[in-house]
Amino acid sequence: MRFHWGWIEPVMPVPYVPTLGPARWGDPLHELLEAVVDVAGSGRFLPHDKDRRWGDTKTERVLVDAIEHGQEQTLIPTLVERGRGVVKVHVYGAAPDSLTAGADLARKLAAVHGARARIVWFLDADQPDAYAQGTRVQLKDFTAGPGDAPGVPIQEYKELPEGAGFGAFAEEMAEDGFAFLHGQMQAGTVGPVLTVLHDGMVAGAIGPMETMPDARGYARLLPQYFGVLPQRRGRGYGRALWRAAMHWGHQHGAAYQLLQTEVGGASDRLCRAEGLSSLGFINQADV
């Protein structure tokens, strides 16, 4: 499968590649699209796939034979092979019926694979937040430095005093992924995790702190799990953790970081206040 970039580029309001996620404008998006098709069904990771750190096999693949590629719209379906499974149809198109066509294809493929059906579509950064039904893609560029200092003492997990209660924190924040992360930390398979204490106990954390080269060879700071206990919020701990993470990334040679934040959520507001650039919105809906 080969894509006509001149057909896709005009209807791609956000630099986003199915199975890989957001990228930057200027990245080789055309080549990345063709690369995810080339490895579809093999279970292999591309060298610059951020999901490599969480497993040995890629669990989302492009359904190559079901791609619909035309001048006005391109529909790229993927299958997430976890649990019951999810068919996601990524809609790149400006035609009035593009979303309807994407939903029809998603339902058809979901029936074949015994999976749930979902559509994914995109809005450019100039669209009002009220139009978004998902996440904002945000870019932190380290060219101008890491930004302001944390202003609150931050410690790496390995430096915590005995009895600081990271395990209890992780269990309370399980819905934010920290129970899973704690297991990875105990197995020694992930990078450092930064923490903030309140009265000697872990109140918040961000991590793992890791970088990975992108498709052009630039080091990017990978997304982290990030959270503060509900009863400890409003004290500036989240901002301090975020700033500490940005300093870590800058010190370790990262050129940038890409994040997806829930529109209107606490992380979204924090990133906007910290001056990150919006690259647009990724919307999703089950159909």
* pLDDT on residue 277: 96
Residue pLDDT, tens place only, 89-128: 999 998 889 999 999 999 999 999 999 999 999 999 999 9
What is the average pLDDT across 57-79?
Answer: 96
Say what the pTM is: 0.93
Question: Hey, which residues does 79 pair with through a beta bridge?
Answer: 61, 87
How many Å apart are CA 77 and CA 63, to the nearest integer? 6
* pLDDT on residue 133: 85
* pLDDT on residue 157: 97
* pLDDT on residue 50: 95
Domain of residue 265 covers 140-277
* pLDDT on residue 110: 98
Task: Please check whether residues 95 and 31 belong to one and the same domain.
Answer: yes
* pLDDT on residue 12: 97
Mean of all residue pLDDT scores within the chain: 96
DSSP 113-132: HT-EEEEEEEE-TTS-GGG-
Task: Please check whether residues 99 and 151 belong to one and the same domain.
Answer: no
Structure tokens at 161: 């005093």
Task: Please check whether residues 162 and 112 belong to one and the same domain.
Answer: no
Task: Please check whether residues 68 and 157 belong to one and the same domain.
Answer: no
What is the average pLDDT across 33-62?
Answer: 95
Task: Please check whether residues 235 and 155 belong to one and the same domain.
Answer: yes
In a domain, 133, yes or no: no
Containing 108, the helix (H) or strand (E) segment is: helix 98-113
What is the average pLDDT across 263-286?
Answer: 95
Which among 56, 54, 53, 78 is positioned nearest to 65, based on CA atoms? Answer: 78
- Could you tell me the pLDDT band of residue 184, with boundaries at 50, 70 and 90? very high
Angle at 106 (CA atoms; ends 55, 22), nearest 5 degrees: 50
Task: Please check whether residues 167 and 58 belong to one and the same domain.
Answer: no
In a domain, 134, yes or no: no
In a domain, 130, yes or no: no
Percentage of the chain surpassing pLDDT 90? 94
Cβ atoms of 127 and 263 within 8 Å: the answer is no
How many Å apart are CA 43 and CA 59, to the nearest integer? 7
* pLDDT on residue 2: 87
In a domain, 194, yes or no: yes
pLDDT at residue 55 above 90? no
* pLDDT on residue 94: 82
Q: What's the total number of domains in the chain?
A: 2
Cβ atoms of 208 and 191 within 8 Å: the answer is yes
In a domain, 203, yes or no: yes
In a domain, 59, yes or no: yes
* pLDDT on residue 95: 84
How many Å apart are CA 196 and CA 204, to the nearest integer? 5
In a domain, 92, yes or no: yes
Residue pLDDT, tens place only, 223-255: 999 999 999 999 999 999 999 999 999 999 999
What is the average pLDDT across 213-222?
Answer: 97
C-beta atoms surrounding 207 within 10 Å? 23
Cβ atoms of 161 and 195 within 8 Å: the answer is no
Q: Which residue has the higher pLDDT, 131 or 122?
A: 122
Task: Please check whether residues 38 and 149 belong to one and the same domain.
Answer: no
Strands (E), 110-224: 116-123, 134-141, 155-156, 194-198, 201-207, 211-213, 219-221
